[in-house]
């Protein structure tokens, strides 16, 4: 599972890997490598599509088995300008149609039947919005939670995956505004882990569909056809 950053890596390790292990599916999250410093140490996270594609192509080449699948967890919000299909679909205000089209374009760019593309609509913080009740328990100071009740009201009116991707209104921006104490790499994995996968899938059905597709790999393997 190639992911965009360390927060997604922790999420994959703490929640997805342990859940899918119960289906006999082993998850290995890898943060995209963007560069190396003068000493050869890797810099990870973010970067451009050329970095992501390089790592995907490398994984496809290294993992030749028919029982291997490669997937991703990238954010729709803030995709790099060189992402396949972005120039064609960026203006589409229907973000569900946009994210579906971009996943298709990514699959075509990788061109391997074992590849399962996934882009989070609109970003990882959609899952955190689904976990606001738990997030509150990890933030002690009143100033840290100055607008959390207002944000919870927004989420009750608009499903987390529908929170749009504007520069000031994306899930991460809303958290910055309403929950000043929130730190993605610290509080994000804690909040979603405490909320649990069942609740996250209910609140974020597109995310849930991806998880269901990963679970179904076990059934395909039992049928003798190998995972699909």
pLDDT in the model for residue 47? 83
**Average per-residue pLDDT in the chain?**
91
CA angle, 104 then 127 then 79, to 5°: 40
* pLDDT band per the 50, 70, 90 thresholds, residue 227: very low
pLDDT of 210 above 50 = yes
pLDDT in the model for residue 228? 39
pLDDT in the model for residue 37? 54
Burial class (CB in 10 A: 0-12, 13-18, 19+), 76: buried
pLDDT of 79 above 80 = yes
Spell out the SS3 assignment of the chain: CEECCHHHHHHHHHHHHHHHHCCCCCCCCEECEEEECCCCCEEECCCCHHHHHHHHHHHHHHCCCCCCCEEEEEECCCCCCCCCCHHHHCCCCCHHHHHHHHHHHHHHHHCCCCEECCEECCCCHHHHHCCHHHHHHCCCCHHHHCCHHHHHHHHHHCCHHHCCCCCCCCHHHHHHHHCCCCCHHHHHHHHHHHHCHHHHHHHCHHHHHHHHHHHHHHHHHHCCCCCC
Q: Are 12 and 3 a contacting pair, CB within 8 Å?
A: yes
The string of pLDDT tens digits covering residues 151-205 is: 999 999 999 999 986 888 899 999 999 999 999 989 999 999 999 999 999 999 9
Provide, rounded to the nearest whole percent, the portion of the chain with pLDDT above 90.
78
pLDDT in the model for residue 39? 54
pLDDT of 29 above 50 = yes
pLDDT in the model for residue 168? 87
Q: Give the mean pLDDT of 81-93.
A: 96
* pLDDT band per the 50, 70, 90 thresholds, residue 42: low
């Amino acid at each position: 599972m190639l992911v965009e950053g360390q927060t997604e890596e922790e999420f994959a390790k703490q929640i997805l890997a342990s859940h899918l292990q119960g289906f006999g599916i082993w998850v290995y999250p890898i943060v995209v490598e963007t560069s190396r410093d003068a000493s050869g140490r890797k810099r990870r996270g973010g970067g451009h599509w050329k970095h992501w594609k390089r790592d995907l192509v490398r994984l496809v080449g290294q993992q030749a088995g028919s029982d291997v699948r490669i997937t991703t967890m990238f954010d729709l919000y803030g995709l790099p300008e060189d992402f396949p299909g972005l120039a064609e679909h960026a203006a589409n205000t229907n973000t569900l149609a946009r994210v579906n089209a971009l996943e298709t374009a990514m699959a075509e760019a990788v061109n391997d039947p074992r590849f399962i593309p996934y882009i989070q609509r609109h970003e990882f913080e959609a899952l955190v919005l689904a976990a606001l009740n738990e997030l509150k328990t990890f933030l002690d100071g009143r100033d840290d939670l100055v607008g959390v009740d207002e944000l919870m009201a927004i989420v009750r009116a608009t499903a987390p995956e529908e929170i749009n991707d504007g520069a000031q209104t994306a899930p991460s921006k809303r958290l910055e505004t309403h929950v000043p104490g929130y730190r993605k790499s610290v509080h994000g994995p804690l909040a979603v882990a405490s909320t649990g996968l069942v609740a996250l899938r209910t609140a974020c059905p597109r995310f849930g569909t991806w998880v269901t597709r990963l679970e179904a790999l076990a059934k395909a393997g039992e049928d003798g056809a190998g995972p699909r």
